[in-house]
Chains A and B, each alone.
Chain A
């Protein structure tokens, strides 16, 4: 592919687990990172995100498969010869060097003369908002500042690709949010591809051009955030990416028949499907109504109503005992009040908007 900066083909990595078995950290991974793309690797802890990132950086040797960066085969190339830099999870700043020496390290290695080095280091520090901190030592910086130094150090030599391993996980919430935006801006400004690892779905949805969802060393789905959110490829992705109402059952003449006898009407495009399937209805895809409404809907009892500022979250239960989450906008205040006092409501959905996935099981 012409516009791919990184191509992984058939990458596999197996570790021996301490219990004596094997862990497939990477299981037949095919992945393209496009030029100037913000790609996020998302998945639960232990799914192989770090291993995947480090195999691009060169710290993990693949058992099988190939990796090429910018058109050149890099499968057996050691880390220091790859045009890639990493922001490590614990920052890994050199404690015996000043901020300036840390950031200038990649330039020093490349033999850039001291004066030019100082200029570039200064510029990189300004870029991450740390101008004037050149002489400090890493242990004299706060966590957020260390994070920025690690970032400046990784971008100063303009790699073709920046790898970031959960760089924001150690920061507190407010700082994390502003760093998310800054990182995204930085990526636009630099015009290089970022491969970003996180286990935080909101972080992934906010920042990414594309998200690759991993589980047990396999890529479950790789797509743009909205695509992943609206049309998850399987129940795992659906549940990992956000609160979802999932309905398992078998398709029978245009509706999904669930085990407890409840049914969901499906849109016309799904009429011809067969077999077992899981349907997803997002909390915001329901609209709140009451018994006399004849549109497609589910009758529920309301367990709890929570005010979340921008709207309401309703915890509901079907006659068959299935628990559902509904979010209602602030404008639906009157309906919410009525549902809360009646303790019952009818959840209206649009059959054509139901997303259907093959297979079963919504749990991770």
Chain B
């Protein structure tokens, strides 16, 4: 297929603005970050223009011996971040999947009301909502108050500034993001297929595994991606509910840029977050792309045959 010069010019004009925008606001900052991550930190902030792989070394164990010793704390923070993000995905999935079915089965009026409720949190500030959790979970908060009053505990529990508190906060803020794609795929589900499965002798479990799950998989995959990626780099939730005790990658990066003024190390950390996200994304794209392309090639073959 050879496009005429005219077509190519039109295409260029149409794509131009988007290309320029992406180049200026995405690719150039990205390039700056990549370059910075391989430069040496200046003594009082800023960078030294020399090749310096030890930023990554501080994370993976080949730290600059002149400066400091290897500290596994960064790997710990990295693994904790991945763990928290994965658990957040699982927990939101467990909440949203059944909820999507319940809501999609409701009569019309109730359905729109529930969807409105799910969108409602967006009307208030995220920070305010997270601070409310601080009030709820702190030692003098209502949860400890009730447990103490019931005599179930003698001492107030440390509920806040734990990994659990972070996951709770994450689940709380990411539920709408998980819910929407799942709900969209559940709404599209053709119930007569479930009947057909039962009719052919499949019990509830097999019907779920062989029919309901595959047909709602696009929603599950989409929701998981949309939650995992921002959860991994999130720094507001750990900043408020994790305090100084439980840190995630997002806080670490923020700290490096704003407090420690070590931009190269911050860039290296940001690169790591980004590469995990990219790998995850590409994995999903590959999986769903293979599903789609196998179907597309078949239908293409049929069209050719007719």
Docked-complex contact A79 and B198, CB < 8 angstroms? yes
Docked-complex contact A140 and B298, CB < 8 angstroms? yes
Spot the interface stretch: A63-71, A91-99, A287-295, A356-364: A91-99
Name the interface residues of A74-106: CB closer than 8 Å to any CB of B. Answer: 78-81, 84-86, 88, 90, 92-96, 105-106
Contacts A105-B210, A110-B201 known; list 6 others, CB within 8 Å: A80-B199, A81-B201, A84-B199, A85-B200, A86-B195, A92-B193
Q: Which residues of B contact A (CB under 8 A)?
A: 190, 192-193, 195-203, 206-207, 210-211, 214-215, 295, 298-299, 302
Q: How far is the CA of A86 from the CA of B206 in the complex (A)?
A: 18
Docked-complex contact A80 and B201, CB < 8 angstroms? yes
Nearest 5 pairs between A and B by C-beta? A92-B196, A106-B200, A92-B192, A79-B198, A109-B201
Docked-complex contact B201 and A94, CB < 8 angstroms? no
Residues in A with CB closer than 8 Å to B299 are 137, 139-140
A157 beta carbon closer than 8 Å to chain B: yes
Docked-complex contact B199 and A136, CB < 8 angstroms? no
Docked-complex contact A106 and B201, CB < 8 angstroms? yes
Docked-complex contact A94 and B199, CB < 8 angstroms? no
A12 beta carbon closer than 8 Å to chain B: no
- Closest CB in chain B relative to A126 CB, distance in Å: 20
Given contact pairs A109-B201, A157-B201, A136 touches B298 in the complex (Cβ within 8 A): yes
Q: How many A-B contacts at CB < 8 Å in the complex?
A: 68
- Closest CB in chain B relative to A31 CB, distance in Å: 20
A135 beta carbon closer than 8 Å to chain B: yes
Q: How far is the CA of A205 from the CA of B243 in the complex (A)?
A: 79
Docked-complex contact A59 and B195, CB < 8 angstroms? yes
Docked-complex contact B196 and A88, CB < 8 angstroms? yes
- Closest CB in chain A relative to B48 CB, distance in Å: 56
Chain A minimum-CB-distance residue to B199: A86
Q: How far is the CA of A95 from the CA of B211 in the complex (A)?
A: 9
Name the interface residues of A102-140: CB closer than 8 Å to any CB of B. Answer: 105-106, 109-110, 135-137, 139-140
- Closest CB in chain B relative to A79 CB, distance in Å: 4
> Could you list some 10 contacts between A and B, CB below 8 A?
A59-B198, A59-B199, A80-B201, A80-B202, A80-B203, A88-B195, A88-B196, A93-B196, A95-B215, A105-B202
A153 beta carbon closer than 8 Å to chain B: yes
Chain B minimum-CB-distance residue to A83: B201
Q: Which of B193, B195, B211, B295 contacts A79 (CB 8 A)?
A: B195
Residues in A with CB closer than 8 Å to B206 are 109
Of B196, B198, B199, B215, which is in contact with the most chain A CB atoms at under 10 Å from its CB?
A: B199
Name the interface residues of A203-257: CB closer than 8 Å to any CB of B. Answer: none
- Closest CB in chain B relative to A78 CB, distance in Å: 7
Residues in B with CB closer than 8 Å to A351 are none
A297 beta carbon closer than 8 Å to chain B: no
Chain A minimum-CB-distance residue to B193: A92
Residues in A with CB closer than 8 Å to B214 are 96
Interface of B: prevailing SS: helix
Q: How far is the CA of A105 from the CA of B199 in the complex (A)?
A: 11
Docked-complex contact B298 and A92, CB < 8 angstroms? no
- Closest CB in chain B relative to A90 CB, distance in Å: 6
- Closest CB in chain A relative to B69 CB, distance in Å: 54
- Closest CB in chain B relative to A351 CB, distance in Å: 52
Classify chain A: how many residues form its interface, as a range.
20 to 34
- Closest CB in chain A relative to B135 CB, distance in Å: 46
Given contact pairs A90-B192, A92-B190, A92-B195, A109 touches B298 in the complex (Cβ within 8 A): no
Q: Which residues of A contact B (CB under 8 A)?
A: 57-59, 78-81, 84-86, 88, 90, 92-96, 105-106, 109-110, 135-137, 139-140, 153-154, 157
Residues in B with CB closer than 8 Å to A81 are 201
Q: How far is the CA of A153 from the CA of B207 in the complex (A)?
A: 16
Residues in B with CB closer than 8 Å to A85 are 199-200
- Closest CB in chain B relative to A281 CB, distance in Å: 44
Docked-complex contact B203 and A94, CB < 8 angstroms? no
Residues in A with CB closer than 8 Å to B201 are 80-81, 106, 109-110, 157
Q: How far is the CA of A30 from the CA of B177 in the complex (A)?
A: 53
Q: How far is the CA of A140 from the CA of B302 in the complex (A)?
A: 7
Docked-complex contact B295 and A137, CB < 8 angstroms? yes
Given contact pairs A94-B193, A109-B206, A80 touches B295 in the complex (Cβ within 8 A): no
Given contact pairs A90-B192, A94-B193, A79 touches B298 in the complex (Cβ within 8 A): no
Residues in A with CB closer than 8 Å to B195 are 59, 79, 86, 88, 92
Residues in B with CB closer than 8 Å to A139 are 299
- Closest CB in chain B relative to A102 CB, distance in Å: 9
Q: How far is the CA of A121 from the CA of B207 in the complex (A)?
A: 20
Residues in A with CB closer than 8 Å to B298 are 135-137, 140
Chain B minimum-CB-distance residue to A104: B200
Docked-complex contact B202 and A109, CB < 8 angstroms? yes
Residues in A with CB closer than 8 Å to B210 are 105
- Closest CB in chain B relative to A222 CB, distance in Å: 25
Docked-complex contact A94 and B198, CB < 8 angstroms? no
Q: How far is the CA of A109 from the CA of B206 in the complex (A)?
A: 8
Chain B minimum-CB-distance residue to A139: B299
Residues in B with CB closer than 8 Å to A109 are 200-202, 206
Residues in B with CB closer than 8 Å to A95 are 193, 215
Residues in B with CB closer than 8 Å to A88 are 192, 195-196, 199
Residues in B with CB closer than 8 Å to A58 are 198
Q: How far is the CA of A16 from the CA of B127 in the complex (A)?
A: 48
Docked-complex contact B192 and A153, CB < 8 angstroms? no
Q: How far is the CA of A59 from the CA of B200 in the complex (A)?
A: 13
Chain B minimum-CB-distance residue to A106: B200
- Closest CB in chain A relative to B209 CB, distance in Å: 11
Docked-complex contact B196 and A94, CB < 8 angstroms? yes
Chain A minimum-CB-distance residue to B192: A92
Residues in A with CB closer than 8 Å to B190 are 92
Q: How far is the CA of A157 from the CA of B202 in the complex (A)?
A: 13
Chain B minimum-CB-distance residue to A153: B200
Residues in A with CB closer than 8 Å to B193 are 92, 94-95
